[in-house]
Amino acid sequence: MTCPRCKGSKRELIKPGLWRCVSPRVLIQEEGGPGLTNPMAGPGVFRHEHKVPCGLEFREAGPGAFLLCACKTVAIGLCAACEEPVCGLHSELCAGRRMCEADNPRLRAKAARTAAAERSAATKKRAWREWQEQVLDELGDAHPIERLVRVMAVWSKDEIWPRRSSQQRELVPTLEVVLGDLWSTDLLRRWPTDLMKSPPWDHEQVLEWFLDAVKTPPTPQQILTPRRVPVLGEMKAKLVTVPGWTFTSGSTSHILADDWHYPMTVLIDGRRGSYLDRPDHAPGNPGFSGVALREMAPLAQLPGLSPPPRV
**What pLDDT, on the 0 to 100 scale, is given for residue 168?**
52
Confidence of residue 73 (pLDDT cuts 50, 70, 90): confident
Q: What's 280's DSSP letter?
A: G
Residue 296: predicted pLDDT:
94
Q: How far apart are CA 164 and CA 172, in angstroms?
A: 16
pLDDT grade for 270, boundaries at 50, 70 and 90: confident
Q: What is the pLDDT of residue 164?
A: 45
Instruction: Report, in this order, helix, strand and coil percent for the chain, each rounded to 5.
Output: 30, 25, 45
- Give yes or no for a contact between 38 and 7, defined as CB atoms under 8 angstroms apart: no
Compare 181 and 56 and report the one with higher pLDDT. Answer: 56
Domain-located, residue 311? no
Average of per-residue pLDDT across 176-201:
64
Q: How high is the pLDDT of residue 8? A: 86
Which is more confident, 100 or 34? 100
Across all residues in the chain, what is the average pLDDT? Answer: 78
For 3-19, letters b (16+ CB in 10 Å) and e give beebebeebeeeebbeb
Q: Are 290 and 161 in contact (CB under 8 A)?
A: yes
Sign of CA dihedral 60, 61, 63, 65: positive
Structural domain includes residue 64: no
Identify which has the larger pLDDT, 215 or 310: 215
Report the domain count for the chain. 1
CB count in 10 Å sphere of residue 51: 8
Supply the pLDDT for residue 302: 94
**Which pLDDT does position 311 carry in this prediction?**
59
Distance CA 69, CA 281 (A): 70
C-alpha pair distances (Å), 90 with each of 69, 71, 75, 102, 107: 8, 8, 10, 9, 8
- Domain membership flag for residue 269: yes
> What pTM was estimated for this model as a whole?
0.58
Specify the pLDDT at position 150: 92
Position 79 in a domain? no
Judge whether 294 lies within some domain.
Answer: yes
Determine the distance from the C-alpha atom of residue 298 to the mean position of all C-alpha atoms in its chain, rounded to a whole number: 32
- Res. 226 pLDDT band, cuts 50 70 90: low
CA distance 303 to 309: 18
Tell me the sheet residues that pair with 21: 11
Q: Is pLDDT at 268 greater than 50 in this prediction?
A: yes
Q: Which of 298, 193, 200, 294 is nearest to 249 (CA)?
A: 294
| Whole-number pLDDT of residue 195 | 63
Give the residue ranges of DSSP H helices in the chain. Answer: 105-139, 144-152, 157-160, 171-178, 185-188, 191-194, 203-213, 290-299
What pLDDT sits at residue 235?
56
Residues of the domain holding 209: 137-299
Residue 194 lies in a domain: yes
Q: 229: pLDDT confidence band, cut at 50, 70 and 90?
A: low
Asked if residue 3 is part of any domain, the answer here is: no
* Mean pLDDT in residue range 88-114: 82
For residue 301, the model assigns a pLDDT of 94
Specify the amino acid at residue 89. L
**Comparing 135-144, 215-224, 259-268, which segment has the lowest mean pLDDT?**
259-268
Closest by CA position to 307, among listed 132, 176, 142: 132
215 within domain boundaries: yes
Q: H/E/C letters for each residue in 168-202?
A: CCCHHHHHHHHCCCCCCHHHHCCHHHHCCCCCCCC
Look at residue 39 and give its three-state secondary structure.
helix
pLDDT band at 303; cut points 50, 70, 90 = very high
